Structure 1
């Protein structure tokens, strides 16, 4: 074999690999041969002789770009195959065209209701098959591109939202002799603690973005109280405690946004205590929202281990012991156990976001 022949083979294989992949599912070999014969010059072909194999091959990487699916097959018919694939996150996006001798209107409607994009009747017309496949592959590609652009834009929106939220949280910290790194650290501590406690990714992401607003209500506390270098008297302490309710008012009630709902809950409840001695409402135990219980630990840990104009930073071991000692009184004891196991990861965050 000369060099030119080898080059042609390489180019042919490369072209085949770049072509869309079509899965043909039919229990009749002659039907497969007809469809494969029509499409093989322009597409990669994968075939299955029954529904079970069709489902297996549809899930095999790389997943098909389109599926031509017979309806009347033994054991598992095409309707069940379609329903199974559309219920699977890995395969639900694959366009399915039913190819069947069942020509009743109700059969076509049923197929479309299950998620198929088209319906071709047997015996098939090769030009019709070619055109339908071409059209639905193009539509699928357009939909994927649209999804990609939407996901990119959604990511930008989330990043922008997160930055705005962090800056809102920092506004309160500047007023309170805190640093901007405090809200970043404690929000990441909160996210890690929520994940380690078994909460879903969506909850953890919401908490990461909501936690920076925990003290936003301090914007409404007079400076002579907020920045007082000495201990607050009883009247001043009553005013200081109002920052939780001020924060809740700033963040609003009745919002449809999951983020704003969680942020309001955090602002209102992060000073509640497990034994009911906290404020503003004296909530007890699991009556305190889980996000408030998590942020309470994260906020105190960062406050203890950070240096401030009015105090030196505690040693990490001392801060951990203090939180352990407060399990069951100030803090949720189950969360404290999770927190203690998580300390090495929390210290990595602290080192990454130093004041």
Structure 2
């Protein structure tokens, strides 16, 4: 029927205990007889796997009411079914309210006793099985969740590496050093943090900003590497690098870093007042990532030497950019940037001082 069933009997009358023992012999269970409530609690402690308690209410030292409260309030014992034996029908409602699972009326009816005991043991075993099954399932779910998290982390790491490689490819065309990528990436993340962009989104911005100029791959060397000012038609071709970058990264909406890189590549030359390119977006129509990158990109570009210009001083850079607040730049975003100008300048200078090429994500985030 059931294996290793343990039933605790509690009654201060040895005759009642013997009678219950004889009536329960057919269950072939282990019966533990106790004479009062204190002995009953000690028996539960000594036998962790108890399937049923059958107890009288009127017992010395600790009565059935006290025992019932203790059992049902204990996190380790409250699932043990308790059948209360009573000769007073008025007590039934009280014990059921305290958590008793069933009751037996004195004098005992053999058939009723067997059915009630059988039902309680069956319910207890089913509950134990469900609990054990849930525990196993929880372990399996934890394992699967950990495996999924590892897979997602690996996928995200792959996205990061792809972003880095694409960004480096554009830099090789533009004769830039790895420090420019690292500078744009770190300064973008910091400005994003100051702007209140959530942490996970700041991480995406950190890597997606690497892709801001990836479209330069499609610009002819004669224009991309030309020293000095570009002719109007040449500048028109140069502006196409935004659209080319968007096309390179199109169709990747399931990959948050690549999708964010597409938006940044397309929009980082848009201007707050609507005079930018390629679409003439205005104000909040420009994605916040692009508004961040446009500021730090110009900041780094002005402070560093390029084939077409000398490096400007921090004073010159500050003056030029301040004049563009509310025109090229989001004025609130630029205000945050300007309020922390010393921090950004120190970070930019330190990155360019350590101007080694970036060959891996690990090196980039050092």
Number of residue pairs aligned between Structure 1 and Structure 2 = 254
Distance 1:279 1:239 in 2: 12
Flag the structure with more relative contact order, 1 or 2, with Cα contacts below 8 A and sequence separation at least 6: 2
- Indicate conservation of the 8 Å contact 1:189/1:298, yes or no: yes
For 2:205, the equivalent position in structure 1 comes to 207
Structure 1 residue 300 and structure 2 residue 337: aligned?
no
1:210-262 Cα shifts (integer Å, max 9, x gaps): 21111111111110111011211111111111111111121225744443332
SS of the aligned residue for 2:76 comes to helix
User: What SS does the aligned partner of 1:36 have?
Assistant: coil
Match of 1:185 in 2: 183
Structure 2 match to 1:172:
170
Tell me if structure 2 keeps the 8 A contact 1:176–1:226.
Answer: yes
Task: Describe the shift of the 1:254–1:325 C-alpha distance in structure 2 as closer, same or farther (beyond 3 A).
Answer: same
> 2:76 — aligned with what?
36
Structure showing greater radius of gyration is 2
Which of 268, 287, 291 aligns to 2:266? It is 268
Which structure 2 residue ranges, 5 or more long, are not aligned? 1-67, 81-95, 102-118, 356-366
Q: Which residue of 1 aligns with 2:29?
A: none
The verdict on how the C-alpha distance between 1:149 and 1:341 changes in structure 2, with shifts beyond 3 A counting, is: farther
TM-score for both structures, normalised by structure 2: 0.61
CA distance in 1, matches of 2:288, 2:307: 31
Equivalent residue number for residue 326 of structure 2? 328
Which 4+ residue blocks in structure 1 deviate beyond 6 angstroms?
121-124
Deviations 1:135-172 (A, max 9, x none): 32232122223222222232222122101111101111
Confirm or deny: 8 A CA contact 2:167 2:213 kept in the other structure.
yes
TM-score (norm 1): 0.62
Distance 1:315 1:122 in 2: 85
Long gaps (5+) in structure 1: 1-27, 41-71, 75-98, 102-120
Q: Work out the CA distance in 1 between the residues paired with 2:322 and 2:253.
A: 36
Alpha-carbon spacing, 1:38–1:259, altered in 2? closer, same or farther (3 Å): same
- Taking structure 1 as reference, are residues 149 and 255 closer, same or farther at Cα in structure 2, changes over 3 Å only? closer
RMSD: 3.3
Q: For residues 213 and 29 of structure 1, do their structure 2 counterparts lie closer, same or farther at Cα, with a shift above 3 Å needed? A: same
| Aligned equivalent of 1:238 | 236
1:163: which partner in 2?
Answer: 161
CA contact (8 A) 2:228 2:307 kept: no
In the TM superposition, residue 34 of structure 1 has moved relative to its aligned partner by 7.3
Residue aligning to 1:144 = 142
Secondary structure in structure 1 of the residue aligned to 2:340: helix
